[in-house]
Amino acid sequence: MFNHIMVGTNDIERSKRFYDALLGMLGAGAASQRGRLRSHPAVLSP
């Protein structure tokens, strides 16, 4: 089981759009951002 997954990118804005759309389709809530860290709530909750 994965707890966290980190993915790097060279195009931050494009990455934000892509993952916001993808994770939104999977039911994840809105992303939160703290400094350079951006995260989405869990898609699958126990």
Cα(15)–Cα(4) distance, rounded to whole angstroms? Answer: 17
What distances in angstroms separate CA 14 from CA 9, 44, 45, one per listed residue? 9, 24, 27
Question: Each residue's pLDDT tens digit in the chain (46 positions)?
Answer: 677 777 788 998 898 899 888 888 888 877 888 887 777 777 655 5
Give alpha helix (H) positions in the chain.
12-25
pTM exceeding 0.85: no
